[in-house]
């Protein structure tokens, strides 16, 4: 199911799964604070902090080399043990934006199942940006970990 920008969608609930329905909610992923993109999520999927989509795409291309969009999305699902999922309405605009920024390049090719597909590769500039984004991620996630690890003070 593809979700659009700013949409809140609740599909019809199969009565057999109604007891679990209250836990499912849209998975929010943003590339900046002014644009919220939502992705389907199951009970076991979680929200991703704003701005992480570019980092995840760039890192996937660094590790795997040239990939088509579907391959990038599947790899993120696999590595995250299906905690993260991307739909086309989220992934392809991000790939286009990264290409326009000169962080990745793309060209048409033929996939393993003999279909025409656009293949994406990391540029030198993309590698530099990835290093900066990893450093930022480590700084922010370290700060969050410090806050989460705090224990409550005994009441006075």
- Tens-digit pLDDT profile for residues 69-127: 999 999 999 999 988 888 888 899 999 999 999 999 999 999 999 999 999 999 999 99
The answer to whether position 130 is within a domain reads yes
Q: Which residue has the higher pLDDT, 124 or 13?
A: 124
DSSP secondary structure string for all residues of 39-58: E---TT-----TTHHHHHHH
The answer to whether position 19 is within a domain reads no
Handedness of CA 91, 93, 130, 122 (dihedral sign): positive
The pLDDT > 70 percentage for the chain reads 67
What is the residue range of 119's domain? 52-140
The answer to whether position 40 is within a domain reads no
The answer to whether position 135 is within a domain reads yes
CATH code of residue 134: 1.10.10.10
The answer to whether position 114 is within a domain reads yes
Number of structural domains (the chain) is 1
The answer to whether position 122 is within a domain reads yes
The answer to whether position 59 is within a domain reads yes
Contact predicate 60/67, CB 8 Å: yes
C-alpha to C-alpha distance for 104 and 2, rounded to whole angstroms: 25
Q: How confident is the model at residue 155 (pLDDT cuts 50, 70, 90)?
A: confident
The pLDDT > 90 percentage for the chain reads 56
The answer to whether position 134 is within a domain reads yes
């Amino acid at each position: 199911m593809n979700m659009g920008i700013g949409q809140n969608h609740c599909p019809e609930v199969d009565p057999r799964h109604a007891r679990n329905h209250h836990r499912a909610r849209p998975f929010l992923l943003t590339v900046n604070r002014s644009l919220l993109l939502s992705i389907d999520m199951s009970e076991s999927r979680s929200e991703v902090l704003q701005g992480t989509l570019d980092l995840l795409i760039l890192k996937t291309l660094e590790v795997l080399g040239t990939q088509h969009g579907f391959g990038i999305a599947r790899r993120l699902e696999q590595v995250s043990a299906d905690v993260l999922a991307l739909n086309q309405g989220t992934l392809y605009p991000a790939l286009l934006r990264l290409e326009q920024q000169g962080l990745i390049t793309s060209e048409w090719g033929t996939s393993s199942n003999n279909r025409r597909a656009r293949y994406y590769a990391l540029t030198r500039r993309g590698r530099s940006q990835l290093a900066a984004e990893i450093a930022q991620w480590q700084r922010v996630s370290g700060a969050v970990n410090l806050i989460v690890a705090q224990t409550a003070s005994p009441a006075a």
